[in-house]
Every structure is written in structure tokens, then in C-alpha cells.
């Protein structure tokens, strides 16, 4: 019998570009029945086909575009709508103004005074013309460029460590000029810091970790280095982050250990750090990695900014993955959004 948690996990993995066989192997290695996994995939495929048949504007060349994207970026994406926003999330995104939990969008521009940036803060930009989002529970606020588009509820909003997740219609995961953009959501987290889009491999990604049973998941997290502004750049360079020779992992089968190693390398093979700048509590980074999904491989750029916070929150971050190298302006905007958190 299929499990909704499994279905949600599969959809989220597909959203992040993980190959079907990799997902199946990971689930089976961690206790899920093969028949249930196959049934879940069939159900998801059926739902996708129904969604596509409802679209009167599905382009005839779409399959060719998908094939090209798979070869170039090495991700497998399932289409839900005619225009092709490639996002499968636990709760379907709807405008924040209609949600009870994510909040309302302030239409005012920020009133923060422009200051002359210090020499070590070259990534700062003026926020005077930006929009401001204020959480309805008054937990936080942040500013963002109008070009990022409208706001809606993001992936796993309010679930687990993800206190609040907000996506942008023009900046977050979507098809842009026949190229896929992954990530680009604002995520406010609590407790142990996990990073979006497998920026430090799958073991630091909250969605990827859902493949493991709770006990094993907790053991993995407790044996990962706790990320800080001081050690983030060092951990960013590593392919492997957990020592499976520790006694806590002694009872695991070799298949389970192999699954953990493989997940640690998800979108994290041969990382090359282009930049990793630390200014106070904020880290801005850009790295190149090889993403391998089944027989498909591609070199990708993963970049973003993370601000390390004090309790009750742990981080505020925006992480993105594209084939194209990010521009200085893009990194500046991402950093300024993260630093505007209040």
C-alpha cells in the first residue's frame, strides 16, 4: 500500500532533479517495500498525465525540450501545467494573501536608509526601491527586488525544520528561456541547519533526508558537523560529511551505508569552490559540482547566501542551482535579501 509520506518524498526528489532509479534504490534500502514504491511511482505518473491532458496549451515540442534539458542539466522534471512550473511540493503554492499561515504581502517599499557599504561588504546593494514582506505573526520581515515577482507558499512551508518558506514567481524554480532554475526560495529554519538544493550534498538537505527512517535520520544529523559561519566554507568543499565507521552506524547493512554515501554525494561530486565570502553572520558562496542521476551527468552551479541566526531560528537562506554561472548582480541581490532579515 502506498504511503502519502512516500509519495510526497518522491515528488520532492523529482522536483530537485533526482533520477527515478536513484529514488527507488534509496527508498528500498531504507525499509520501504519494492511493490509499494512502484505503486507510488505509478500513481504519480497517472496524476501527471491527467494534469497534462487538462492543459490545452501543451506545446508539441515539449518532449524534445525535456530531452535537451535532461542532457544539459542532468535533471528529470515532471510537468504539472501548460507553462511548466516544475515544482512538486507538499502544499500547492497559492498566493500568500489567501493563506492563513504564510502571511500577507506588504506593498510598501523599504524605508531603510541607504548607507555607504564598508569595503568588506561589496555585495551590498541599495534596498530603497525594494518591496518588503512582513510575516503576519510579526516573527520576521525581509526585503526583495520587485523583479523577483509575486510571492507564494514555498516547499515544505512550516514542516519540520522549515519555519517559513516563500517562493518568488520569477526567481524561484521555474523554466527560464528553455533552461531550468532550481531552488531560489527564501527559507527560514530552526534547530540543526540544513541547506536547500543539496548545496552540501543530500545529507544536509531536509527533503532528501526524508528517505531515511526517523531513527537513522536523527543519527545521521547528530553525526554531521554543525554548520556555522566559521566552518561553512570548509564543509562546502567536501564530498563526504559523515563518518560511517562510528559505532552508531555499526548495525547498518552495507547497502544502507552505500545509500548514505550516495546521498552525501547527491549534486555534490567533485565540488569546486568559486567563491565563499564570510561577512559577519552571513556567507555568500558559489561552487561548481557534478550532478549525477543514473547515467546522466552534468556540471552545475550552486550558489546563494545563508545568514546564521540565534534562537529561536537558526538560518535564513536562499540557494539556487543553474547551468549558467551567476552574475555579480544576482549574488549581490541574494545576499542583500538575506541580510535584510529582521
Average pLDDT for residues 302-326, to the nearest whole number?
Answer: 97
Q: Could you report how far apart the first and last alpha carbons of the chain are, in Å?
A: 45
- What local confidence, expressed as pLDDT, does residue 127 receive? 74
Per-residue pLDDT tens digits for 118-163? 444 444 456 789 999 999 899 999 999 999 999 999 999 999 999 9
Predicted pLDDT of residue 26: 74
pLDDT for residue 167 is more than 90: yes
pLDDT of residue 58: 40
What per-residue confidence (pLDDT) applies to 60? 41
For 247, counting Cβ atoms within 10 Å of its Cβ (0-12 exposed, 13-18 middle, 19+ buried), the class is: exposed
Give tens-digit pLDDT for 219-245: 999 999 999 999 999 999 999 999 999
CA 322 to chain centre: 12
Q: Which runs of E-coded beta strand occur in the chain? A: 105-109, 131-134, 141-144, 151-153, 162-168, 174-176, 179-189, 269-279, 282-293, 296-308, 315-322
Span 266-306, pLDDT tens digits:
999 999 999 999 999 999 999 999 988 777 788 999 999 99
Q: In a 3-state reduction of DSSP, which class is residue 219?
A: helix
The pLDDT assigned to 22 comes to: 76
Question: What pLDDT sits at residue 287?
Answer: 97
pLDDT in tens, 170-220: 999 887 777 789 999 999 999 999 999 999 999 999 988 988 999 999 999
Largest CA distance in the chain: 61
Residue length of the chain: 342
The answer on pLDDT for 70 being more than 70 is no
- pLDDT score at 185: 97
Q: What is the pTM of this model?
A: 0.67
Tell whether the model's pLDDT for residue 334 goes beyond 70: yes
Q: What is the residue whose three cell numbers read 526567481?
A: 171
The tens digit of pLDDT for each residue in 72-122 reads 333 333 333 332 333 323 333 334 533 333 333 333 333 333 333 344 444
pLDDT digits (tens, 9 = 90+) for 8-55: 778 777 876 777 877 887 777 666 777 778 878 877 776 565 444 444
Q: What is the pLDDT of residue 79?
A: 30
Sign of CA dihedral 72, 180, 23, 21: negative
**What percent of the chain stands above pLDDT 90?**
56
Instruction: Write down the pLDDT at residue 2.
Output: 53
Amino acid at each position: 500500500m502506498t504511503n502519502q509520506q512516500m509519495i510526497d518524498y518522491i515528488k520532492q526528489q523529482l522536483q530537485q532533479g533526482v533520477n527515478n532509479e536513484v529514488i527507488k534504490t534509496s527508498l528500498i534500502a531504507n525499509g520501504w517495500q519494492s511493490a509499494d514504491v512502484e505503486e507510488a511511482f505509478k500513481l504519480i505518473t497517472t496524476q501527471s498525465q491527467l494534469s497534462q491532458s487538462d492543459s490545452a496549451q501543451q506545446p508539441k515540442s515539449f518532449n524534445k525540450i525535456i530531452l535537451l534539458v535532461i542532457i544539459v542539466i542532468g535533471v528529470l522534471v515532471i510537468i504539472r501545467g501548460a507553462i511548466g512550473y516544475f515544482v512538486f511540493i507538499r502544499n500547492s503554492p497559492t498566493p500568500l494573501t489567501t493563506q492563513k499561515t504564510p502571511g500577507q504581502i506588504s506593498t510598501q517599499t523599504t524605508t531603510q536608509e541607504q548607507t555607504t557599504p564598508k569595503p568588506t561588504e561589496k555585495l551590498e546593494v541599495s534596498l530603497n526601491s525594494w518591496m518588503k514582506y512582513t510575516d503576519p505573526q510579526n516573527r520576521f520581515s525581509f526585503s526583495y527586488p520587485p523583479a523577483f515577482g509575486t510571492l507564494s507558499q514555498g516547499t515544505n512551508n512550516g514542516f519540520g525544520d522549515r519555519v517559513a518558506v516563500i517562493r518568488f514567481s520569477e526567481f524561484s524554480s521555474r523554466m527560464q528561456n528553455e533552461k531550468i532554475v532550481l531552488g531560489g526560495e527564501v527559507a527560514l529554519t530552526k534547530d540543526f541547519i540544513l541547506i536547500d538544493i543539496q548545496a552540501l550534498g543530500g545529507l544536509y538537505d531536509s527533503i532528501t533526508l526524508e528517505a531515511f527512517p526517523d531513527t537513522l535520520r536523527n543519527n545521521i544529523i547528530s553525526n554531521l558537523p554543525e554548520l556555522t559561519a566559521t566552518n561553512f566554507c570548509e564543509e562546502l568543499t567536501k564530498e563526504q560529511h559523515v563518518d560511517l565507521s562510528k559505532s552508531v552506524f555499526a548495525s547498518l547493512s552495507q547497502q544502507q551505508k552505500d545509500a548514505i554515501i550516495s546521498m552525501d554525494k547527491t549534486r555534490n561530486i567533485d565540488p569546486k569552490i568559486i567563491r565563499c565570502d564570510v561577512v559577519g553572520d552571513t556567507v555568500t558562496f558559489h561552487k561548481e559540482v557534478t550532478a549525477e542521476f543514473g547515467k546522466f551527468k552534468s556540471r552545475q552551479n550552486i550558489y546563494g547566501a545563508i545568514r546564521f541566526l540565534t534562537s529561536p531560528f537558526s538560518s535564513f537562506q536562499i540557494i539556487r542551482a543553474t547551468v549558467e554561472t551567476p552574475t555579480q548582480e544576482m549574488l549581490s541581490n541574494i545576499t542583500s535579501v538575506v541580510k535584510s532579515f529582521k
